[in-house]
Amino acid sequence: MLKEQKNKLTEKLTKIIKEIGHMSDIKKEVGQEFKSRNLSTFRAMTVWMSPDYLFTLTDSNEDIQFLFLFSLALSKAMKNNKIDIELDVQDYFTFLEYNNWKEYREEYQEKNDYPIIFENVQQIGEGMWQTIITAQQFAQLHRDNKLIYNFRNQRNPKVTVSGISIDLDKRKVNEIKNRILNRKQFPDHVKFNILKNFEEKLYYDEKNAKLIIYKGIINISDGQHRNVANAFVIQEEPDIKFNWPLVITNYTENDTKEYIWQINEQKPFKKEQKQEWNQNKKENLVVSVIADDRISKLNKVMGSQEAEIRNKKSLVTKNIIAEAISENYKLDDTTDIRGLGKWIIEFTDYLFSLYPKEFITDPYSIKDTSVINNKNMFYGFIALSTYQESDWKQKTKNKMESINFEINNPIWKEIGLFANKPNKSVRNKIYKLFEEEEVK
């Protein structure tokens, strides 16, 4: 099925359901068509109640097949009830798809997955409970299509000319998956909402600490990326031991929006702090080695935020040092992280000892006349640390003496040293300045 045809069909089906979704006879016949093929009616009924669900379908063979069967069932039901809306399924699918699926039946009747029972549940408020689920239980709900993405309760659904789709960041999904597989993921709360539309049926058994869902649409109000990542994890390591904390609510769509809004209003991490705390980056691990050395001179002038530089509490941020390390050293699984950190400590200790006033005893008094301890100059210092052999101390001394650090030296404006956040081009110019050839 071509993507263009899929988008056209999805839009058409959405319009049709919004027009005739109130007709119970059509809905009933669509369900009967699925039952006649030994298929669960759950997804079909979900589409009927929330046609935007169609936009969550992927290009997988399973989803395309479901789209075909639903379209065919709806087309038959409309013809049987003399609904004058044209829907020719053959216009959207390939000849091969049509012939392979028009008589499709499951060999066995799919089991009834209701009721859904959550164990060890505590009620923490009106219409709100908490428990834990294993990675396997989470994946099973995903496979059974019990977890529905509700566009009206999502932070940033993707809106394009082709319609609405899930704004799924594949990079983020992959990061979560790898963190779980590498035992580095901290379990964080996933949030389900049993949509309160007065058709749901659920019961909280306080005595036995069970929440029993007899009927209802379960929306993922927070955790779609973790849902997809978890499914991939179970494919790769089915027996992994990992639990997810789970909050379950029974809210209307409007209440869910207010709940998610309240969560979003909590003060987020600053971007620079998020970068610094990301321990999946090897350059941050090197910086951690430096920061853990109490007598390191570089450690004493490193801060976490730009505000510390402005307020004369540090000369450079950890993120600048980390970025410089990542761009000047080859970092892979064979890298001696601790050894590299110790080398940079030794190098910068010697460098700062050449200019004790500028880096140690009175670093802020010279800023009006010199750029030697400008935050961006540290990119160059890390680059300089890579051009070393047995006589590295003499070479370092020669290189530093060859550079005119006076603030009115026109070279600084030419290379963009005073940029608040220097781009790669500026950083490369700074790196080049500290290469071995003499610079006047």
- Domain co-membership, 256 together with 231: yes
- Domain co-membership, 124 together with 211: yes
Domain-embedded: residue 106? no
Can you tell me the distance from the alpha carbon of 408 to that of 42, in angstroms, rounded to the nearest whole number? Answer: 72
Domain-embedded: residue 108? no
- Domain co-membership, 250 together with 312: no
**DSSP letter for each residue of 44-80:** HHHHHH-GGGGGG--SSHHHHHHHHHHHHHHHHHHHH
- Domain co-membership, 88 together with 182: no
Domain-embedded: residue 298? yes
- Domain co-membership, 184 together with 332: no
Q: Please report where in the chains the tokens 């008589």 appear, as a residue.
A: 103
- Give me the torsion for CA of 163, 253, 257, 245, rounded to 10°: -100
Whether a cis peptide bond, with omega within 30° of 0, leads into 115 is yes
Which tokens is 274 given? 């998020």
* Coil/strand/helix, residue 338: helix
Choosing from 203, 230, 264, the residue where a domain stops is 264
Containing structural domain, residue 80: 3-101
| Counted domains in the chain | 3
Helix-helix angle 170-181:224-236, to 10 degrees: 50
- Secondary-structure breakdown of the chain: helix, strand, coil percentages, each rounded to the nearest 5: 50, 15, 35
Domain-embedded: residue 107? no
Integer CA distances (angstroms), 322 to 88, 318, 327, 359, in order: 59, 6, 9, 19
- Domain co-membership, 227 together with 285: no
Per-residue pLDDT of the chain (440 residues; tens, 9 = 90+): 788 888 899 889 988 988 888 888 898 899 899 888 888 777 787 788 777 778 777 777 878 899 999 999 999 999 998 888 888 999 999 999 999 998 988 775 545 567 889 999 999 988 999 999 999 999 888 877 788 766 665 555 555 444 445 556 778 888 899 999 998 888 888 999 998 887 889 999 988 999 999 888 888 888 888 888 898 899 889 999 999 999 999 988 778 877 776 766 655 555 555 455 555 678 888 998 998 888 899 999 998 888 888 888 899 999 999 999 999 998 888 889 999 999 999 999 999 999 999 999 999 999 999 999 999 999 999 999 998 777 899 999 999 999 999 999 999 999 999 998 899 999 999 999 988 554 43
pTM of the model: 0.45
Domain-embedded: residue 125? yes
